Structure 1
Amino acid sequence: MKNSIGRELPEYIDGYGKVKPFKGAFVNMGIKEKTSVKIESVTPMDNKLLHSIDEALDKIDLKDGMTISFHHHLRNGDYVLNMVIEAMAKRNIKDITIAATSIFPVHAPLVQYIKDGVVTGIYAAYMSGPVADAVSNGLLKKPAVMHTHGGRARLIESGDLHIDIAFIAAPTADGYGNINGLFGKSACGSLGYAIADAEYADKVIAITDNLVPYPASPIEISQMYVDYVVKVDSIGDPAGIVSGTTKITKDPVGLRIAQMCAKAMEASGLVKDGVSFQTGAGGISLAVAAELKEIMKNKNIVGSFAAGGITGYIVDMLKEGLFRNLFDVQCFDLEAVESCATNTKHMRMSASMYGNPHNKGAVVNNLDIMILGATEIDTDFNVNVTTGSDGRIMGGSGGHSDTAAGSKLAIVVTKLIKGRLPIIKDKVTTVTTPGESIDLIVTERGIAVNPKRQDLIEKLKKSNLPVVNIEELKNIAEKMTGKPKPIQLSDEIVAVVEYRDGTVIDVVRKAL
């Protein structure tokens, strides 16, 4: 069968189940139900504080086939996932499904556990490094499920993803289970991705390297949800939070793209008092924020909020009074961590509050402008940030689809050519975000506007910006690089790409 954007899908996928095809960004809405939660009550005589992960595993009814969850706020500095899987493997536990908010190169030890059958399933919003390679090579027994950040919260709250045990890396915790990410040697800031896990898992084990006297303050995850607290020497390296670039690009091409993007934002009419904004941590994206900063300062504009994974650059805009508040689901650098701990206007939010489409209003719905990246874009404005030019997994949606759907103006900024390959294609290898949610593509050779946004086309033409047809951009790139050869893919499905509402927008097939 085909979904609404024409992607061929099987009706049933072994290891995944029946496929619900994507039908549109807002088709699967309406009244939804949350799942019930099992609660084991605690008496005043019970002790939650344990001395090792093994002691915690002794306390629970550990079985083959369980689903266990982790959060990625320590990003490429996380130690907890590897420690827990090693402890479970020593007990000869098999057939584990890992529901990790994201997986990074630091989690390379998982590859051997995949080969050994200890780990047979993975849910993640993002994967990079050796684990992504292993999944791309078809080593995982079941297809990995790639979801969005908001979609993961929806999965858990609806019961579509049942978590048996949630392991929460806790930079600060007391012995009764109150947690925050703001202090301690492994401080990472907001713990927004772990909140659904804490609230809905059957068992919740906090693992901390900073045990403080009761009560820990402030409380982000409450003692009400935590079964046990384990003290270890280290939960991770906070330097690993900074992965990838968090600096403004100095590349002249990237700066030109940022300047054009800022002019397009201004021409849209959305850059005014009360504007809300989100951008990623890439060099061009931060250059867009720098351009926006100058416009706001010159026109005395004060925005309502900036959101998302927060960087030090966005923190500086808050300090300068350019935004009244920040909404933070994860911190991208240590400046953001410090701000999250010290500034009450820098507010923490859960992944559900951030991007879940099936609640009574996610923050993304109030975004005016969203700046996004892309691995590939096609002439229908569909965007790929899941697989690379070779068809192998190298990322994932994260909040890409959530913010694109919610914002009034979703802009993709990208160079027209990357790695000697054109970014714009007839069809992307993998659809992560549907074209209906993308409004503008800004490249160094011009701006393509989604034809559904005739209002934007008129506004941008009046501003003398270089508005071109997306096919023109594709042709320009192909004249420079030649038309790339199609990727050869097998029939074997190694990952299922879910849209934020749980429908299947695409699958990833094993590259030949």
Structure 2
Amino acid sequence: MTYFNTRLEDVKLLNKEDYPEKGHKETKMRQDLDELIKELKIKDGSSISFHHHLRNGDRVLVQVMKAIQKTGAKDLTLVASSIFPSMADIVELLEDGTITNVVTSYISGPVGEAISKGKLKGSIIMQSHGGRARAILADEVPIDYAFIAAPSSDEKGNISGVNGINSCGAMGYAIADAIKGKTTIAVTDFVTAYPNYPADITEDYIDYVLQVESIGEKAGIVSGTTMITKDPVGLKIAQDTLKAMIATGLVKDGLSFQTGAGGISLAVADYLRDYMIENEIKGSFASGGITGYLVDMLEEGLFEALFDVQCFDLKAVESIGKNKNHLRMSGSQYGNPDVSCVVDNLDIVILGATEIDTDFNVNVTTGSHGMLMGGSGGHQDTAFGAKVSIIVSKLFSSRIPFIKDRVDVITTPGNTVDILVTERGISINPLRTDLIEKFKAAKVPTIDINDLKKYAEEVMGVPKKIEKTDRIIGLSQSRTGDILDYIYQVK
């Protein structure tokens, strides 16, 4: 109500008998998942969101969705920031129509296989992490119920990722869900005294706090490859990647950097560390999903700060609780294209790929069999934002050439991918004439990507075409909301 255009003497005064009762607030605490689900009265067609900071250790998504299944609710949209093999039990919810549509940034394991084989009656939308935050905050992806796996919470709903038996560190991907969820529920196995701090999500966004026996197992955060490769081929690629980075002229004081958690990418970070120490270079920040390797570089003074949207290992979880310059960020601050975001301040990003084509389009969504087994995550966001994006990969995977005429699904468009480093040479996107000149000046040899493709096919042959049906089961979405590619059902 506004009073600026109202005569003040016409404003009705509040009578004392109408005063709200002092201190009267319904408790947020709940102890029984099934009873809470009944209380929420979830309707057909609702959208239910989850975050993935416990990664393959998460148990909240399955617990909640199985409880919703018991109510008979159908045609739900699952808005999960990522889906891991530990969530295999929801396949039956695809089959019986409890879940009809899925929106996610990453998917692997049995759920991805089931969707690829047509068990999802609706469709799957694959987004980037920044694109997901943008879509939620812009109300393009509405969230009716946001369930937030909370490593710790007080009874009012202040959530901290650094406290509790299943501490996960940063909780950046849950923040948009908490802000925009029509009803937001903190699900925790560790209730602590008020106030719980430092809070990643505060009580003003939380409607209920559900205490359960377990939200999962934080050991599952370390899923997949999070160790430096010892493979000689991978180490050569990492060494050549460092040469490529130096040739760009960006490896100097003030360097901002991001790398993934794959074996080759971590080897690049290790070689970079040695180079920075030897040449007394101090970077400004490293960002993304943070590993212990980047924590070491922070604590050695090689970077001023870390921007952390999720922790990839337990050393990173420990660090965010003790290092004041290990900074939390939301998914929006990380990569939302509608606002000022961290990826736009990156100098260099090191990324992996399932496959790349001669136009430098990258696929990290489907595997060589055509089934869903990944997703953009921050791939798109960082490739677009960084001054230089570098893809590192072996030329062959399981005897299948890495470079194609056209990737199966475009995850990251080629105009944002700058350099490819393989064991047989370095290719530069022809669009980056500035980099081509810099590499010539630095006397770092390069090779045309078409020549790399030709060599790989001479050794391994041309891969067979993936057999798919004509049914489109999903879309690969750009971080701005445009559609990059179709995803087809496999035979």
- What TM-score does the superposition give when structure 2 sets the normalisation length? 0.94
Matched, 1:185 2:165: yes
Instruction: Say which is worse superposed, 56-65 or 420-429, in terms of deviation.
Output: 56-65
1:177-217 deviations in Å (ceiling 9; x for gaps): 10011111110000000000000010000000110000001
- The one of 113, 125, 129 aligned to 2:105: 125
Unaligned runs of 5+ in 2: 1-21
Structural mapping, 1:474-493, within 5 Å: 474-493=453-472
The percent of aligned pairs where both chains have the same amino acid is: 56
CA deviation after TM superposition for structure 1 residue 176, in Å = 0.2
What is residue 462 of structure 1 aligned with on the other side? 441
- The one of 414, 417, 423 aligned to 1:444: 423
What is residue 80 of structure 2 aligned with on the other side? 100
Structural mapping, 1:119-198, within 5 Å: 119-198=99-178
Contact 1:260–1:465 (Cα < 8 Å) also in 2: no
- The one of 233, 255, 266 aligned to 2:213: 233
CA distance in 1 between partners of 2:205 and 2:23 (Å)? 14
What is residue 401 of structure 1 aligned with on the other side? 380
Instruction: Say which is worse superposed, 161-170 or 50-59, in terms of deviation.
Output: 50-59
What is residue 312 of structure 2 aligned with on the other side? 332
What is residue 471 of structure 1 aligned with on the other side? 450
What is residue 453 of structure 1 aligned with on the other side? 432
CA distance in 2 between partners of 1:54 and 1:358 (Å)? 38
CA deviation after TM superposition for structure 1 residue 43, in Å = 6.5
Contact 2:161–2:199 (Cα < 8 Å) also in 1: no
CA distance in 1 between partners of 2:326 and 2:317 (Å)? 10
Contact 1:173–1:180 (Cα < 8 Å) also in 2: yes
CA distance in 2 between partners of 1:55 and 1:332 (Å)? 34
- The one of 209, 222, 244 aligned to 2:202: 222
Amino acid at match of 2:399: R
1:164-183 deviations in Å (ceiling 9; x for gaps): 00000000100001001111
CA distance in 1 between partners of 2:224 and 2:116 (Å)? 22
CA distance in 1 between partners of 2:129 and 2:366 (Å)? 17
CA distance in 1 between partners of 2:445 and 2:356 (Å)? 19
CA deviation after TM superposition for structure 1 residue 503, in Å = 0.6
Matched, 1:362 2:341: yes
CA distance in 2 between partners of 1:394 and 1:461 (Å)? 38
SS in 2 for 1:352: helix
Runs of 4+ in 1 over 6 A off after TM superposition: none
Amino acid at match of 1:311: T
CA distance in 1 between partners of 2:422 and 2:25 (Å)? 63
SS in 1 for 2:153: strand
CA distance in 1 between partners of 2:361 and 2:375 (Å)? 14
1:426-468 deviations in Å (ceiling 9; x for gaps): 1111100000000000000000000111111122123332300
1:196-248 deviations in Å (ceiling 9; x for gaps): 00000100000001100000011110100000001111101101000111110
Contact 1:125–1:147 (Cα < 8 Å) also in 2: yes
1:469-493 deviations in Å (ceiling 9; x for gaps): 0101001101110111222322101
CA distance in 2 between partners of 1:449 and 1:89 (Å)? 50
Contact 1:261–1:288 (Cα < 8 Å) also in 2: yes
Matched, 1:318 2:298: yes
SS in 1 for 2:219: helix
CA distance in 2 between partners of 1:456 and 1:202 (Å)? 48
CA deviation after TM superposition for structure 1 residue 293, in Å = 0.5
How many residues align structurally? 470
Contact 1:94–1:118 (Cα < 8 Å) also in 2: yes
What is residue 360 of structure 2 aligned with on the other side? 381
CA deviation after TM superposition for structure 1 residue 425, in Å = 0.8
CA deviation after TM superposition for structure 1 residue 349, in Å = 0.3
What is residue 3 of structure 2 aligned with on the other side? none
Amino acid at match of 2:206: V
SS in 2 for 1:270: coil
CA deviation after TM superposition for structure 1 residue 50, in Å = 1.0
Higher CA-based Rg? 2
Structural mapping, 1:268-347, within 5 Å: 268-347=248-327
1:102–1:43 CA distance, 2 compared to 1 (3 A):
farther
What is residue 69 of structure 2 aligned with on the other side? 89
CA distance in 2 between partners of 1:386 and 1:453 (Å)? 25
Contact 1:56–1:205 (Cα < 8 Å) also in 2: no
- The one of 80, 87, 90 aligned to 1:110: 90
CA distance in 2 between partners of 1:58 and 1:132 (Å)? 29
- The one of 16, 24, 38 aligned to 1:44: 24
CA deviation after TM superposition for structure 1 residue 54, in Å = 2.1
CA distance in 2 between partners of 1:425 and 1:120 (Å)? 33
SS in 2 for 1:264: helix
Amino acid at match of 1:509: Y
Amino acid at match of 1:471: N
Amino acid at match of 1:374: A
CA deviation after TM superposition for structure 1 residue 92, in Å = 1.4
Amino acid at match of 2:407: V
What is residue 10 of structure 1 aligned with on the other side? none
Superposed CA RMSD in Å reads 1.0
CA deviation after TM superposition for structure 1 residue 497, in Å = 0.7
Unaligned runs of 5+ in 1: 1-41
